[in-house]
A and B are shown apart, each in its own frame.
Chain A
Amino acid sequence: MKTMEVRLNVNGEAKQWTVAPGDLLLDVLRREGYFGVKRGCEAGECGACTVLLGGKPINSCLMFAAQAEGAEVLTIEGVAHGDALDRLQEAFLDHGAVQCGFCTPAMILNAKALLDRKPHPSEEEVREALAGTFCRCTGYQKPVEAVLAAARGLAR
């Protein structure tokens, strides 16, 4: 099997990984221990594998690891600030916006990308930002409330 080197930045740390040319970013991130990147449908439908690439949410199941050369990747593992949770994470806890937790990393990363770009989103904009992340516990209302509450907190 031929291999190649990929240099990228994950959660603020420079990494150099040996990958196969056909490896998907999802598989490589999980192989390297980023288990917050969830393996769901592997077809770009469910959004559970979402990471931020240069600040924008993408489905890591649809991207080759080789395409992340030189990129800045943020996974859920990099969202907290040391021991202090991010305001979005706190808001998800406060609002009980978590059931089984499988979609939660993707919900929070999509919400973070939205708030970084637009600190005061409307409810409609929050719903649109979360539309690509499926929750099979049927818990959309609380995540939406949590994101809106976090946005209000950010405004202070």
Chain B
Amino acid sequence: MFDTVESFYRPGSVREALRLLQNGKNRARIVAGGTDLVVEADRTIRVLIDITHAGLSYIRRKGKACVIGATTTMATIENSPAIRALAGGVLARAAATCGSVQIRNMATLGGNLANGSPAADTAAVLLALDAEVVLADARGRRQIPLVDFYSGPRKSAAGKVLIVEVAIPALPRGGRWSFQKLGRTENDISLVNAAAGLQLDSKGRVRWVRIALGAVAPRPMRAVNAEKLLVGRQVDESALAEVCDEAAREARPITDVRASAEYRRETSRVLVRRALEECAAGTGCSL
């Protein structure tokens, strides 16, 4: 299947990986877990650059922020005490649904993003966590918000650049989090997924909220209008109904082999509600 591949490299550093990527022109591809790249079976690939030995498998706390190296596997993330303690363990939960045991032992966080799929389970959660990605190319490194990383379905900034790590900033104090997913099975690709974060003030009004959706738009998205509707309000039944309607309106789903656009839109409404209800229950807000 990959009989067109002429060279396979296993660089020991990011610098070396970038040099190989540049030398390979457009015919070199980065590989880590391989769980997407191998299935894609792109016959234009001449050079493979395995970055799993480039020193990018780590999870580090930096004060109240957290950085995760690009080649950290889903299995490592779901089992990491630091990630399980971060934002109520919402990222660990998303990673745990990201395919079978075998897939999670191989698939990496950087790969889940670089693949550019709007259905990526970790993407919605990372959007709700205001995560940023650190990218490197021959000119240097830069850090951009994850929301700017995607340019369209299966299109991301990866290719000419390398994802070095994902940075999760200090989170709002007392924030509550939720990840919701609907797939054929728990470990299957999401038909729709949703993540939410909620912080209430002392009077029970919403001070800060994040609502993110996956598999309902060309890229993982924030439902920013829905978020705005909720700020400053109590999380009661009427607010929830309004916000979930708005989130469903913001979604731009397509019909494909897995689900119809209408079904995805309706499911967005349901999953955003479940996510916000879970967050609200965690903040002691009675619905």
Contacts and interface: CB of A to CB of B under 8 A. Distances in A.
Contacts of A23: 2
B260 interface: no
A77 to B, nearest CB: 18
B238 interface: no
A61 B6 CA distance: 19
A4 interface: yes
- Pairs A-B, 5 closest by C-beta atoms: A132-B100, A22-B2, A22-B5, A21-B8, A66-B8
Contacts of A4: 8
Contact of B102 (A1, A43, A50, A64): A50
Main SS class of interface, B? loop
B3 A22 contact: yes
Given A20-B3, A22-B1, A66-B50, A44 B103 contact: yes
A128 interface: yes
Interface of B: 1-8, 10, 31, 33-35, 38-39, 45, 48, 50, 52, 75, 99-103, 105-106, 185-187
Given A22-B1, A24-B38, A2 B7 contact: yes
A80 interface: no
A26 to B, nearest CB: 10
B2 A59 contact: no
A57 B101 contact: yes
Contacts of B6: 2, 21
- For A23, A43, A44, A69, the residue with the greatest tally of chain B CB atoms inside 10 Å of its CB is A44
Interface string A33-69: 0000000001110010010010011110111101101
Interface of A: 1-2, 4, 20-24, 42-44, 47, 50, 53, 56-59, 61-64, 66-67, 69, 110, 113, 128-129, 131-133
Given A44-B39, A61-B38, A21 B101 contact: no
A66 B2 CA distance: 12
Contacts of A24: 1-2, 38
12 contacts: A21-B8, A22-B2, A22-B3, A22-B4, A44-B99, A50-B102, A57-B101, A64-B48, A67-B34, A132-B99, A132-B102, A133-B100
